[in-house]
Structure 1
């Protein structure tokens, strides 16, 4: 792994494979190490150079210091649709990604983000259209509070969760992902991944600040309707955290986008679907290449 100084912070990243550059943007509290190796292998085997980064306040990238909102505050904001105070916004996180591209000398990339990473990817496409060749938004939503909201029972469960400690974080994570994942959730595989993540970096306050950034950022729907970028939307039909309406709304907003939904996918990346997802991301990237060739010929 390596790091660069960009956009006023330090960003940890990793590159693997050869081919078309594909930036993977992780979700809330996640780290670059949370992208499953098998899924990354599926992408590199389809001609991508996979670039992963730790978002600010996660992993080994810069950690911020402001007091984070409490779980109860965030749950209230989720239910009441109020905005919250935040040290930074999704737009700042998108600017971090562009700073990384600048540091790596990459004029443009394909981008795929999951959950909060999908929101950051959408923001990238909106605010830096010349830098994004194609976009894939996975288990994400538009920022419209009327769609993609978690189930009420899950919100109540989240509000009651105790603040994790290094000793309890792994089991809390396993318990939570058991609730939000689809029927193919493999507990022992996830426990191993969670153990690695907690050992690498433990930042619950950073996760809370990232959550605040989500709630403080505006609805992207009007801007998504103006996009001109090949877009793929992937969503699980049994996702209780970002319900399917979020993915459907994203696909409806972006012109000529494609929607791929799986009936055995919750808020997770089921290994049974890695190849299909990788194929779809490749096809979406090829759409971008075909459009570029057509534009050059005309």
Structure 2
């Protein structure tokens, strides 16, 4: 990582909130924003992952979404109840939320404005993929390319998460550091959906880093409400013109593999990469395949635009 320029944590005011971000790579390289998922801090885009992408010729920017990590925390929105989920799934009664994914898309665009970036490659994982999709729909001129990883369209026909993954999502938050570290390892064991020894060895240091940056259980709850209140993007995704790559794991227990297939089928000309044995985690063992795919797609989009 020493050969890649790295600017540590900084803060900027955008869309009415403070956003914490970091930059890897040269100032004149192609800008690429990495958008993390539900309740996930930007550091889950590992330092080495960001550095390897930057080494491929990108100015890689990772940031904490609103309500997580060191970005602004909002208020409102009670803890989601199983009854609300049942009403949403079977009666289509929408969940109420203090904000929606469109607001988070505006955060992303606001960060780009603050950094003087007119357009960028957007790479989103899980909820981050949903946010990136929303940017592609609502702010199409701001995208050079779109990569949607382990995400979905919001289409209610996509099968639900596995029972284990649902239990992880709905579990009450841990109260102590030790509880958090234990829960983190348990959660990621389920989300990885297989043996990935390098990641298992990293569970504790990752959990300690996240805990030190600050937990926001209520914020994660508001983010979940934002997803559920935003409905389906499936029909609107037909308008997306940005070159699109969809990456999904065949073993994903949280966002069913059909979610990735549905995303690719909904965006004209989208390419689909299904990674055998990948769960709902960017496992270190799979980085070469994932990073190669993201870099090739973004460089291809840049070449087409030139």
CA separation in 2, counterparts of 1:267 and 1:225? 25
Q: 1:215 — aligned with what?
A: 228
CA separation in 1, counterparts of 2:281 and 2:88? 21
Q: CA deviation at 1:71?
A: 4.9
Change in 2 beyond 3 A, CA 1:101/1:270: same
Q: 1:145 — aligned with what?
A: 156
Q: CA deviation at 1:199?
A: 1.3
CA separation in 2, counterparts of 1:220 and 1:92? 15
Deviations along 1:236-291, one digit per CA (max 9) or x if unpaired, are 10001001000000011111111111112100011122122111111211222232
- The partner residue of 2:206 within 193, 196, 199 is 193
Q: 2:216 — aligned with what?
A: 203
Q: 2:298 — aligned with what?
A: 285
Contact 1:149 1:246 in 2 (8 A): no
Unaligned runs of 5+ in 2: 1-8
Aligned length in residues:
292
Alignment of 1:101-140 (within 5 A): 101-140=112-151
Q: 1:16 — aligned with what?
A: 24
Deviations along 1:173-198, one digit per CA (max 9) or x if unpaired, are 21111112132433231221011101
Q: 2:47 — aligned with what?
A: 37
Q: CA deviation at 1:37?
A: 2.0
What SS class does the counterpart of residue 29 from structure 1 fall into?
Answer: coil
Q: 2:174 — aligned with what?
A: 164
What SS class does the counterpart of residue 235 from structure 2 fall into?
Answer: helix
CA separation in 2, counterparts of 1:149 and 1:240? 9
Q: CA deviation at 1:172?
A: 1.2
Q: 2:13 — aligned with what?
A: 5
CA separation in 1, counterparts of 2:205 and 2:305? 42
CA separation in 2, counterparts of 1:69 and 1:162? 9
Cα RMSD of the aligned pairs, angstroms, is 1.7
Change in 2 beyond 3 A, CA 1:169/1:68: farther
CA separation in 1, counterparts of 2:32 and 2:241? 18
Once the two structures are overlaid, the 10-residue window that deviates more, 251-260 or 36-45, is 36-45
Return the TM-score normalized by structure 1: 0.93
- The partner residue of 2:70 within 17, 39, 60 is 60
Q: Say whether 1:262 aligns with 2:270.
A: no
Q: 2:3 — aligned with what?
A: none
Q: 1:48 — aligned with what?
A: 58
Return the TM-score normalized by structure 2: 0.90
CA separation in 2, counterparts of 1:11 and 1:241? 27
Unaligned runs of 5+ in 1: 294-298
